[in-house]
């Protein structure tokens, strides 16, 4: 019976440590993100939820509420401190019906981004390397590690 109690104590300590470390990692990562400066004006119908960057990467979350933007593209330019364009991404808006809101989430891995500019264009251009459509979730990372271990 003493072994079972000892095992249960160790299991509880491991679970508590796991939860505590997850909280510290979450807080540590999210405090490194800083809001970026906007250059120009944001087009009507686009709501900026979050545009933040760290020293090496960033995230962009937008909402589109204007049906007149259907079939067009969002152009996002990312700038350095000196005003140089370090990255450009084109995102297809698609069809938006009346009273519909479309949420767009994208991530980038480009260093030293300080400012951004958002515009609407009719044709898609070439997207700079370094943009990702989805962030790697914890489950994706776990499955990738398991695949590496067993394959």
Q: Judge if pTM exceeds 0.75.
A: no
Starting at the edge strand found earlier in the chain, the sheet holding 131-132 runs 34-35, 46-53, 58-64, 102-108, 131-132
Considering the chain, what percentage of its residues have pLDDT values greater than 90? 21
Q: Where are the domains of the chain?
A: 1-31, 35-133
How far is it, in rounded angstroms, from Cα 151 to Cα 145?
A: 10
Phi, psi of 146 (to 5 degrees): -60, -40
Q: Which fold has domain 35-133?
A: Immunoglobulin-like (2.60.40)
104 CB contacts (<8 Å, ≥6 apart)?
A: 60, 61, 62, 63, 64, 74, 91
The tokens describing 113, both together, are: 């981004």
The tens digit of pLDDT for each residue in 71-130 reads 889 999 999 988 898 889 998 888 888 888 888 888 888 888 999 999 998 888 888 777
| pLDDT for the residue 24 | 92
How far is it, in rounded angstroms, from Cα 131 to Cα 127?
A: 8
* pLDDT greater than 70 at residue 138: no
Tell which residue, 69, 129, 58, has the closest CA to residue 93: 69
């Amino acid at each position: 019976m003493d072994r079972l109690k000892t095992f249960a104590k160790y299991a509880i300590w491991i679970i508590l440590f796991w939860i505590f470390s997850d909280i510290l990692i979450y807080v540590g990562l999210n405090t490194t993100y800083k809001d970026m400066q906007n250059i120009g004006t944001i087009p009507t119908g686009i709501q900026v939820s979050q545009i933040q960057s760290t020293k090496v990467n960033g995230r962009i979350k937008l909402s589109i509420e204007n049906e007149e933007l259907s079939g067009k593209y969002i152009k996002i330019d990312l700038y350095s401190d000196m005003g140089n364009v370090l990255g450009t991404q084109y995102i297809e808006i698609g069809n938006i019906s009346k009273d519909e809101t479309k949420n767009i989430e994208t991530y980038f891995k480009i260093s030293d981004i300080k400012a951004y500019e958002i515009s609407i264009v009719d044709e898609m251009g070439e997207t700079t390397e370094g943009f990702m459509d989805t962030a790697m979730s914890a489950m994706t990372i776990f499955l990738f590690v398991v695949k590496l271990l067993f394959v």
